[in-house]
Amino acid sequence: MWTRIQLAVSGVSLLLLALPCMAADTIGLCVGDDMRQRLHAEMRDLLGAVHGVHTALAERDLEALSTRAAAAGTAMAGQIEKHAGSHHAGLPHDFVKIGRATHAAFDDLATLARDGGADGELWPALSKVSGYCVQCHAKYRLALPGDCATEDEGAGR
């Protein structure tokens, strides 16, 4: 019992120690307010899609799975690009690439489900999707607006 509590406590302290380093390892992106809101809205949709896919998998409802995954596929990215006009303006090429790969992985999952894929194929396809979420979050974050204002002045804008 005590060992468990001690383990939990040391786990938490390790996490707290690691947090600042993790933040320092990520690249802070400077985006405008509009893009920040759009990005966060897209992210919440993506999380909703992952949840929808999990639920459909649990119920083995392949039609629902296909619909949910397709909605987060390249069609979603296309809509956002259309509405935002210069949606990707100022975002690093690699960031955009991982984003596109994420939507494409949702497309693959949707196709698999539509073709009646077996669990042994569907789970790895979903894992590929969440792998991209992790990959991008491990690399990028949004910079604090205050940090960006200074950079903008420095760049003479």
Pick 62 or 95: Cβ nearer ligand HEC: 95
Alpha carbons 55 and 49: distance in angstroms, whole number: 10
Q: How many residues does the chain have?
A: 157
**Measured from the CB of residue 133, what is the shortest distance to ligand HEC in angstroms?**
3
Contacts for 135 with CB less than 8 Å, ≥ 6 apart: 98
**Measured from the CB of residue 6, what is the shortest distance to ligand HEC in angstroms?**
32
29 strand-pairing partners: 142
Alpha carbons 142 and 140: distance in angstroms, whole number: 7
**Measured from the CB of residue 39, what is the shortest distance to ligand HEC in angstroms?**
6
Pick 9 or 40: Cβ nearer ligand HEC: 40
Residues that bind ligand HEC (CB under 6 A): 39-40, 43-44, 46-47, 50, 95, 98-99, 102, 129, 132-133, 136-137, 140-142
